[in-house]
A = this chain, B = another copy of it.
Amino acid sequence: MSQLKGACIIGQSGGPTSVINASAYGAIKTALESDSITRVLGALNGIKGVLDDNLIDMGKEDPEELALMKHTPSSALGSCRYKLKDPDVDDTDYKRILEIFKKYDVRYFFYNGGNDSMDTCNKISKFMLKNGYECRVMGIPKTIDNDLYGTDHCPGFGSAAKYIATTCMEVYRDARVYDTGMVTIIEAMGRNAGWLAASAALATYKGNGPDLIYLPELPFDMDKFLASVKEIYAKNGKCIAVVSEGIRDKDGVYISEYANKNMAKDNFGHAQLGGLASYLAARCKEATGAKVRGIELSLLQRCAAHVASKTDIEESFSAGKAAVENAVNGVTDKMVGFERTMENGQYKCNIKLFELSDVANTEKKVPLEWINETGDGLKQEYIDYALPLIQGQTDLKIEDGLPRFVNLKKVKA
Protein backbone atom coordinates (compact mmCIF):
# COMPACT_ATOMS: atom_id res chain seq x y z
CA MET A 1 0.00 0.00 0.00
CA SER A 2 1.32 3.43 -0.96
CA GLN A 3 1.01 6.45 1.31
CA LEU A 4 -1.82 8.72 0.29
CA LYS A 5 -1.22 12.36 1.17
CA GLY A 6 -3.94 14.98 1.25
CA ALA A 7 -6.56 16.77 3.28
CA CYS A 8 -9.43 15.08 5.09
CA ILE A 9 -13.01 16.12 5.72
CA ILE A 10 -14.96 15.07 8.79
CA GLY A 11 -18.72 15.51 8.93
CA GLN A 12 -21.55 14.58 11.27
CA SER A 13 -25.07 13.61 10.32
CA GLY A 14 -28.43 12.49 11.67
CA GLY A 15 -29.82 12.80 15.19
CA PRO A 16 -27.09 13.67 17.67
CA THR A 17 -26.01 11.67 20.72
CA SER A 18 -24.20 12.46 23.96
CA VAL A 19 -20.95 11.07 22.56
CA ILE A 20 -20.99 11.70 18.80
CA ASN A 21 -18.39 14.42 19.40
CA ALA A 22 -16.16 11.93 21.18
CA SER A 23 -16.00 10.02 17.89
CA ALA A 24 -15.45 13.17 15.85
CA TYR A 25 -12.74 14.26 18.26
CA GLY A 26 -11.08 10.82 18.02
CA ALA A 27 -10.96 11.25 14.24
CA ILE A 28 -9.90 14.93 14.29
CA LYS A 29 -7.14 14.43 16.88
CA THR A 30 -5.74 11.38 15.08
CA ALA A 31 -5.91 13.16 11.72
CA LEU A 32 -4.16 16.24 13.09
CA GLU A 33 -1.34 13.98 14.34
CA SER A 34 -1.07 11.98 11.10
CA ASP A 35 1.79 12.49 8.64
CA SER A 36 -0.41 11.52 5.72
CA ILE A 37 -3.14 14.04 6.39
CA THR A 38 -2.10 17.54 5.39
CA ARG A 39 -5.15 19.43 6.59
CA VAL A 40 -8.14 18.55 8.72
CA LEU A 41 -11.41 20.12 7.59
CA GLY A 42 -14.75 20.00 9.36
CA ALA A 43 -17.92 20.06 7.25
CA LEU A 44 -20.58 22.24 8.88
CA ASN A 45 -23.96 20.49 8.93
CA GLY A 46 -22.68 17.29 7.43
CA ILE A 47 -22.64 16.70 3.69
CA LYS A 48 -24.41 20.03 3.18
CA GLY A 49 -21.24 21.71 4.44
CA VAL A 50 -19.35 20.00 1.62
CA LEU A 51 -21.95 20.93 -1.00
CA ASP A 52 -22.03 24.54 0.21
CA ASP A 53 -18.23 24.77 0.58
CA ASN A 54 -18.87 25.50 4.22
CA LEU A 55 -15.77 23.99 5.73
CA ILE A 56 -13.76 24.92 8.79
CA ASP A 57 -10.09 24.34 9.53
CA MET A 58 -9.83 22.11 12.60
CA GLY A 59 -6.09 22.82 12.84
CA LYS A 60 -6.89 26.42 13.73
CA GLU A 61 -8.73 25.39 16.89
CA ASP A 62 -7.01 25.64 20.25
CA PRO A 63 -6.06 22.03 21.15
CA GLU A 64 -7.24 22.33 24.76
CA GLU A 65 -10.59 23.72 23.72
CA LEU A 66 -10.91 21.09 21.00
CA ALA A 67 -10.39 18.36 23.61
CA LEU A 68 -13.65 19.46 25.27
CA MET A 69 -15.46 17.94 22.27
CA LYS A 70 -14.95 14.55 23.89
CA HIS A 71 -17.56 15.38 26.55
CA THR A 72 -19.82 17.79 24.66
CA PRO A 73 -23.20 16.42 23.56
CA SER A 74 -24.84 16.89 20.17
CA SER A 75 -22.92 17.43 16.93
CA ALA A 76 -20.34 20.19 17.39
CA LEU A 77 -20.00 20.55 13.61
CA GLY A 78 -23.75 20.64 13.11
CA SER A 79 -25.88 17.95 11.54
CA CYS A 80 -28.24 17.48 8.59
CA ARG A 81 -30.83 15.04 7.34
CA TYR A 82 -29.90 15.55 3.70
CA LYS A 83 -30.15 12.35 1.66
CA LEU A 84 -28.06 12.11 -1.51
CA LYS A 85 -29.95 11.05 -4.62
CA ASP A 86 -29.20 7.86 -6.49
CA PRO A 87 -26.18 8.92 -8.63
CA ASP A 88 -27.62 7.01 -11.60
CA VAL A 89 -30.64 9.29 -11.51
CA ASP A 90 -29.05 12.60 -10.57
CA ASP A 91 -25.33 12.99 -9.98
CA THR A 92 -25.29 16.78 -9.48
CA ASP A 93 -24.45 16.52 -5.80
CA TYR A 94 -21.70 13.98 -6.40
CA LYS A 95 -20.07 16.16 -9.05
CA ARG A 96 -20.14 19.04 -6.62
CA ILE A 97 -18.59 16.90 -3.89
CA LEU A 98 -15.83 15.85 -6.28
CA GLU A 99 -15.26 19.50 -7.17
CA ILE A 100 -14.86 20.42 -3.48
CA PHE A 101 -12.64 17.40 -2.83
CA LYS A 102 -10.40 18.52 -5.70
CA LYS A 103 -10.41 22.14 -4.53
CA TYR A 104 -9.04 21.18 -1.11
CA ASP A 105 -7.15 18.07 -2.28
CA VAL A 106 -9.34 15.94 -0.03
CA ARG A 107 -8.14 12.34 0.02
CA TYR A 108 -9.93 11.18 3.15
CA PHE A 109 -13.60 11.45 4.00
CA PHE A 110 -14.93 10.47 7.44
CA TYR A 111 -18.65 10.52 8.07
CA ASN A 112 -20.08 10.20 11.54
CA GLY A 113 -23.71 9.10 11.55
CA GLY A 114 -26.34 6.36 11.40
CA ASN A 115 -27.64 4.06 8.64
CA ASP A 116 -28.27 6.85 6.18
CA SER A 117 -24.79 8.25 6.68
CA MET A 118 -23.26 4.89 5.88
CA ASP A 119 -25.32 4.91 2.70
CA THR A 120 -23.98 8.41 1.92
CA CYS A 121 -20.41 7.20 2.48
CA ASN A 122 -20.97 4.23 0.23
CA LYS A 123 -22.39 6.30 -2.64
CA ILE A 124 -19.65 8.93 -2.45
CA SER A 125 -16.94 6.28 -2.38
CA LYS A 126 -18.33 4.53 -5.46
CA PHE A 127 -18.66 7.78 -7.36
CA MET A 128 -15.05 8.77 -6.62
CA LEU A 129 -13.81 5.36 -7.68
CA LYS A 130 -15.83 5.53 -10.90
CA ASN A 131 -14.37 8.95 -11.65
CA GLY A 132 -10.81 7.86 -10.94
CA TYR A 133 -10.39 10.17 -7.95
CA GLU A 134 -8.48 8.46 -5.17
CA CYS A 135 -10.20 9.02 -1.86
CA ARG A 136 -10.58 6.79 1.14
CA VAL A 137 -14.01 6.84 2.76
CA MET A 138 -14.79 5.58 6.25
CA GLY A 139 -18.02 5.55 8.24
CA ILE A 140 -17.99 6.21 11.99
CA PRO A 141 -21.26 5.01 13.47
CA LYS A 142 -23.40 6.75 16.04
CA THR A 143 -26.93 6.16 17.15
CA ILE A 144 -28.66 5.96 20.48
CA ASP A 145 -31.06 3.54 18.77
CA ASN A 146 -28.36 0.82 18.64
CA ASP A 147 -29.90 -0.52 15.45
CA LEU A 148 -26.88 -0.66 13.13
CA TYR A 149 -26.16 -3.95 11.46
CA GLY A 150 -23.02 -5.93 12.23
CA THR A 151 -21.49 -4.03 15.10
CA ASP A 152 -22.04 -5.52 18.57
CA HIS A 153 -23.38 -2.15 19.70
CA CYS A 154 -23.35 1.48 18.54
CA PRO A 155 -21.49 4.45 19.97
CA GLY A 156 -24.11 6.55 21.74
CA PHE A 157 -26.30 3.70 22.93
CA GLY A 158 -24.46 3.06 26.19
CA SER A 159 -24.85 6.65 27.34
CA ALA A 160 -28.52 6.83 26.44
CA ALA A 161 -29.09 3.49 28.18
CA LYS A 162 -27.28 4.75 31.27
CA TYR A 163 -29.42 7.90 31.28
CA ILE A 164 -32.65 5.92 30.91
CA ALA A 165 -31.74 3.36 33.58
CA THR A 166 -30.59 6.07 36.01
CA THR A 167 -33.70 8.14 35.40
CA CYS A 168 -35.97 5.12 35.83
CA MET A 169 -34.29 4.33 39.17
CA GLU A 170 -34.86 7.89 40.35
CA VAL A 171 -38.45 8.06 39.09
CA TYR A 172 -39.09 4.68 40.73
CA ARG A 173 -38.17 6.24 44.07
CA ASP A 174 -40.22 9.36 43.43
CA ALA A 175 -43.31 7.70 42.02
CA ARG A 176 -43.67 5.39 45.03
CA VAL A 177 -43.29 7.95 47.78
CA TYR A 178 -46.95 8.44 48.69
CA ASP A 179 -49.18 5.84 50.24
CA THR A 180 -51.76 6.70 47.60
CA GLY A 181 -51.90 5.03 44.20
CA MET A 182 -49.92 6.06 41.16
CA VAL A 183 -49.37 4.77 37.63
CA THR A 184 -46.40 6.16 35.72
CA ILE A 185 -45.74 5.73 32.00
CA ILE A 186 -42.30 6.56 30.63
CA GLU A 187 -41.72 6.89 26.89
CA ALA A 188 -38.30 6.20 25.40
CA MET A 189 -37.14 6.76 21.83
CA GLY A 190 -36.89 3.88 19.35
CA ARG A 191 -39.09 3.68 16.28
CA ASN A 192 -38.42 0.13 15.11
CA ALA A 193 -35.88 -1.25 17.56
CA GLY A 194 -36.54 -1.34 21.29
CA TRP A 195 -32.96 -1.20 22.62
CA LEU A 196 -33.55 2.07 24.48
CA ALA A 197 -36.82 1.17 26.22
CA ALA A 198 -35.21 -2.17 27.03
CA SER A 199 -32.44 -0.39 28.94
CA ALA A 200 -35.01 0.44 31.63
CA ALA A 201 -34.65 -3.26 32.51
CA LEU A 202 -31.24 -2.36 33.97
CA ALA A 203 -33.08 -0.33 36.61
CA THR A 204 -35.39 -3.25 37.33
CA TYR A 205 -32.32 -5.49 37.58
CA LYS A 206 -31.03 -3.10 40.27
CA GLY A 207 -34.35 -3.43 42.11
CA ASN A 208 -35.59 0.07 41.29
CA GLY A 209 -37.19 -0.20 37.92
CA PRO A 210 -40.38 -0.44 35.91
CA ASP A 211 -42.83 -3.32 36.25
CA LEU A 212 -43.54 -3.47 32.55
CA ILE A 213 -41.49 -2.75 29.41
CA TYR A 214 -42.88 -2.79 25.88
CA LEU A 215 -40.76 -2.87 22.73
CA PRO A 216 -41.73 -2.42 19.06
CA GLU A 217 -40.34 -5.89 18.36
CA LEU A 218 -43.67 -7.36 19.51
CA PRO A 219 -47.21 -6.18 18.72
CA PHE A 220 -48.69 -4.05 21.50
CA ASP A 221 -52.01 -5.29 22.86
CA MET A 222 -53.83 -2.46 24.64
CA ASP A 223 -56.23 -4.74 26.52
CA LYS A 224 -53.42 -6.95 27.75
CA PHE A 225 -51.43 -3.87 28.73
CA LEU A 226 -54.30 -2.38 30.73
CA ALA A 227 -55.01 -5.74 32.37
CA SER A 228 -51.35 -6.00 33.44
CA VAL A 229 -51.34 -2.46 34.81
CA LYS A 230 -54.57 -3.14 36.71
CA GLU A 231 -53.21 -6.33 38.20
CA ILE A 232 -49.93 -4.76 39.35
CA TYR A 233 -51.72 -1.66 40.60
CA ALA A 234 -54.19 -3.76 42.58
CA LYS A 235 -51.30 -5.62 44.21
CA ASN A 236 -48.82 -2.78 44.86
CA GLY A 237 -50.79 0.44 44.59
CA LYS A 238 -48.16 1.55 42.09
CA CYS A 239 -47.24 0.61 38.56
CA ILE A 240 -44.48 1.89 36.30
CA ALA A 241 -44.37 1.01 32.61
CA VAL A 242 -41.80 1.96 29.99
CA VAL A 243 -42.72 1.99 26.30
CA SER A 244 -40.86 2.51 23.04
CA GLU A 245 -42.23 5.37 20.99
CA GLY A 246 -42.55 2.87 18.13
CA ILE A 247 -44.94 0.34 19.69
CA ARG A 248 -47.59 -0.79 17.19
CA ASP A 249 -50.72 -2.86 17.45
CA LYS A 250 -51.19 -6.18 15.66
CA ASP A 251 -52.27 -4.32 12.52
CA GLY A 252 -49.01 -2.40 12.48
CA VAL A 253 -50.59 0.91 13.49
CA TYR A 254 -48.43 3.02 15.78
CA ILE A 255 -50.12 3.49 19.16
CA SER A 256 -48.89 7.09 19.00
CA GLU A 257 -51.13 7.54 15.95
CA TYR A 258 -54.16 6.79 18.09
CA ALA A 259 -52.81 9.37 20.51
CA ASN A 260 -52.54 11.98 17.79
CA LYS A 261 -55.52 11.09 15.64
CA ASN A 262 -58.15 13.22 17.27
CA MET A 263 -55.86 15.91 18.53
CA ALA A 264 -57.30 18.33 21.00
CA LYS A 265 -58.24 21.82 19.95
CA ASP A 266 -58.31 24.54 22.53
CA ASN A 267 -61.00 27.22 22.79
CA PHE A 268 -59.58 29.07 19.84
CA GLY A 269 -59.35 26.03 17.60
CA HIS A 270 -55.61 25.68 18.02
CA ALA A 271 -54.37 22.15 17.66
CA GLN A 272 -52.44 20.55 20.48
CA LEU A 273 -49.70 18.01 20.26
CA GLY A 274 -50.34 14.72 21.98
CA GLY A 275 -47.80 12.29 23.31
CA LEU A 276 -47.77 8.52 23.59
CA ALA A 277 -46.88 8.58 27.29
CA SER A 278 -49.72 10.90 28.24
CA TYR A 279 -52.14 8.97 26.02
CA LEU A 280 -51.31 5.68 27.72
CA ALA A 281 -51.37 7.39 31.11
CA ALA A 282 -54.90 8.61 30.37
CA ARG A 283 -55.95 5.09 29.39
CA CYS A 284 -54.48 3.77 32.66
CA LYS A 285 -56.38 6.43 34.58
CA GLU A 286 -59.62 5.15 33.10
CA ALA A 287 -58.69 1.56 33.84
CA THR A 288 -57.50 2.02 37.43
CA GLY A 289 -58.81 5.34 38.67
CA ALA A 290 -55.27 5.99 39.87
CA LYS A 291 -53.37 9.20 39.70
CA VAL A 292 -51.28 8.90 36.54
CA ARG A 293 -48.25 10.57 35.04
CA GLY A 294 -46.87 10.32 31.52
CA ILE A 295 -43.19 11.17 31.15
CA GLU A 296 -41.59 11.55 27.74
CA LEU A 297 -37.80 11.39 27.94
CA SER A 298 -37.67 13.36 24.70
CA LEU A 299 -34.36 14.95 23.68
CA LEU A 300 -32.99 14.50 27.20
CA GLN A 301 -32.13 10.84 26.59
CA ARG A 302 -29.85 11.62 23.69
CA CYS A 303 -28.03 14.71 25.00
CA ALA A 304 -27.53 14.00 28.72
CA ALA A 305 -23.73 14.20 28.54
CA HIS A 306 -23.57 14.81 32.30
CA VAL A 307 -24.45 11.15 32.88
CA ALA A 308 -22.75 9.64 29.82
CA SER A 309 -21.08 6.25 30.10
CA LYS A 310 -17.30 6.42 30.28
CA THR A 311 -17.15 3.12 28.41
CA ASP A 312 -19.27 4.65 25.65
CA ILE A 313 -17.17 7.84 25.54
CA GLU A 314 -13.91 5.91 25.26
CA GLU A 315 -15.27 3.45 22.70
CA SER A 316 -16.72 6.30 20.63
CA PHE A 317 -13.38 8.06 20.69
CA SER A 318 -11.61 4.87 19.65
CA ALA A 319 -14.03 4.39 16.73
CA GLY A 320 -13.10 7.82 15.34
CA LYS A 321 -9.44 7.14 15.92
CA ALA A 322 -9.61 3.73 14.23
CA ALA A 323 -11.36 5.22 11.19
CA VAL A 324 -8.45 7.56 10.55
CA GLU A 325 -5.74 5.01 11.37
CA ASN A 326 -7.27 2.43 9.06
CA ALA A 327 -7.79 4.91 6.22
CA VAL A 328 -4.20 6.14 6.48
CA ASN A 329 -3.16 2.47 6.31
CA GLY A 330 -5.04 2.00 3.06
CA VAL A 331 -8.47 0.85 4.17
CA THR A 332 -11.55 2.34 2.48
CA ASP A 333 -15.30 1.72 2.15
CA LYS A 334 -15.66 0.41 5.66
CA MET A 335 -17.63 1.29 8.75
CA VAL A 336 -15.78 1.05 12.04
CA GLY A 337 -17.71 -1.12 14.44
CA PHE A 338 -17.28 -3.14 17.59
CA GLU A 339 -16.81 -6.78 18.39
CA ARG A 340 -17.25 -8.03 21.93
CA THR A 341 -15.10 -10.66 23.51
CA MET A 342 -15.50 -12.07 27.00
CA GLU A 343 -12.27 -13.11 28.64
CA ASN A 344 -12.67 -14.71 32.07
CA GLY A 345 -16.04 -13.04 32.35
CA GLN A 346 -14.48 -9.66 31.49
CA TYR A 347 -16.08 -7.59 28.75
CA LYS A 348 -13.67 -6.40 26.08
CA CYS A 349 -14.51 -4.32 23.04
CA ASN A 350 -12.42 -4.62 19.88
CA ILE A 351 -12.56 -2.61 16.70
CA LYS A 352 -13.96 -4.51 13.73
CA LEU A 353 -14.51 -3.21 10.20
CA PHE A 354 -17.74 -3.74 8.29
CA GLU A 355 -18.56 -3.27 4.61
CA LEU A 356 -20.42 0.01 4.12
CA SER A 357 -22.73 -1.68 1.63
CA ASP A 358 -23.75 -4.24 4.26
CA VAL A 359 -24.48 -1.67 6.92
CA ALA A 360 -26.43 0.84 4.89
CA ASN A 361 -30.17 0.46 5.29
CA THR A 362 -30.18 -2.64 7.49
CA GLU A 363 -31.71 -2.55 10.97
CA LYS A 364 -30.77 -4.60 14.00
CA LYS A 365 -33.53 -5.32 16.48
CA VAL A 366 -33.64 -6.73 20.00
CA PRO A 367 -33.56 -10.54 19.65
CA LEU A 368 -37.01 -11.92 20.42
CA GLU A 369 -35.45 -14.59 22.63
CA TRP A 370 -34.22 -11.83 24.97
CA ILE A 371 -37.80 -10.71 25.64
CA ASN A 372 -39.70 -12.51 28.41
CA GLU A 373 -42.58 -14.92 27.83
CA THR A 374 -45.26 -12.33 28.65
CA GLY A 375 -43.73 -9.83 26.22
CA ASP A 376 -43.42 -7.12 28.86
CA GLY A 377 -39.87 -7.40 30.15
CA LEU A 378 -36.33 -8.43 29.33
CA LYS A 379 -34.42 -11.58 30.22
CA GLN A 380 -30.98 -11.83 31.79
CA GLU A 381 -29.44 -12.05 28.29
CA TYR A 382 -30.30 -8.40 27.71
CA ILE A 383 -28.83 -7.36 31.08
CA ASP A 384 -25.62 -9.26 30.31
CA TYR A 385 -25.48 -7.52 26.95
CA ALA A 386 -26.21 -3.95 28.09
CA LEU A 387 -24.61 -3.74 31.54
CA PRO A 388 -20.96 -3.51 30.37
CA LEU A 389 -21.88 -0.64 28.04
CA ILE A 390 -23.01 1.73 30.82
CA GLN A 391 -19.97 1.36 33.07
CA GLY A 392 -17.93 4.31 34.28
CA GLN A 393 -18.72 7.96 34.92
CA THR A 394 -17.88 10.83 32.60
CA ASP A 395 -14.91 13.16 33.16
CA LEU A 396 -16.93 16.11 31.87
CA LYS A 397 -15.29 19.35 32.94
CA ILE A 398 -17.41 21.34 35.40
CA GLU A 399 -17.17 25.11 35.66
CA ASP A 400 -19.34 27.13 38.06
CA GLY A 401 -21.22 23.92 38.87
CA LEU A 402 -22.26 23.42 35.25
CA PRO A 403 -20.83 21.55 32.25
CA ARG A 404 -18.14 23.31 30.29
CA PHE A 405 -18.90 22.37 26.69
CA VAL A 406 -16.70 23.10 23.69
CA ASN A 407 -16.84 26.44 21.89
CA LEU A 408 -15.23 26.10 18.48
CA LYS A 409 -13.83 29.13 16.68
CA LYS A 410 -14.94 27.63 13.35
CA VAL A 411 -12.33 29.37 11.17
CA LYS A 412 -13.40 29.07 7.52
CA ALA A 413 -11.13 26.88 5.40
Contact = CB atoms under 8 A, between A and B. Distances in A.
A74 B258 contact: no
Contact of A401 (B295, B299, B390): B390
Indicate how many identical chains form the complex: 2
Interface stretch (A25-33, A271-279, A334-342): A271-279
Interface in A246-300: 258-259, 261-267, 270-275, 278-279, 281-283, 285-286, 292-296, 298-300
Given A307-B307, A401-B309, A16 B390 contact: no
Contact of A295 (B294, B300, B387, B403): B300
B402 A206 contact: yes
A48 B270 CA distance: 44
Contacts of A300: 167, 170-171, 295, 300
30 contacts: A45-B178, A48-B179, A74-B170, A74-B176, A78-B177, A78-B178, A79-B177, A80-B178, A166-B403, A167-B304, A169-B403, A170-B300, A170-B304, A170-B305, A174-B299, A174-B303, A206-B400, A262-B264, A262-B266, A262-B267, A264-B272, A266-B279, A270-B282, A271-B282, A273-B281, A273-B282, A295-B296, A306-B307, A387-B401, A391-B401
Given A261-B266, A295-B296, 16 more contacts: A48-B179, A73-B170, A74-B174, A80-B178, A169-B403, A208-B405, A264-B274, A271-B286, A272-B274, A272-B278, A273-B278, A273-B281, A273-B282, A274-B274, A275-B275, A295-B299
Interface of A: 16, 45, 48, 72-75, 78-81, 162, 165-167, 169-171, 173-180, 184, 202-203, 206-208, 258-259, 261-267, 270-275, 278-279, 281-283, 285-286, 292-296, 298-300, 302-307, 309, 311, 387, 390-393, 398-403, 405, 407
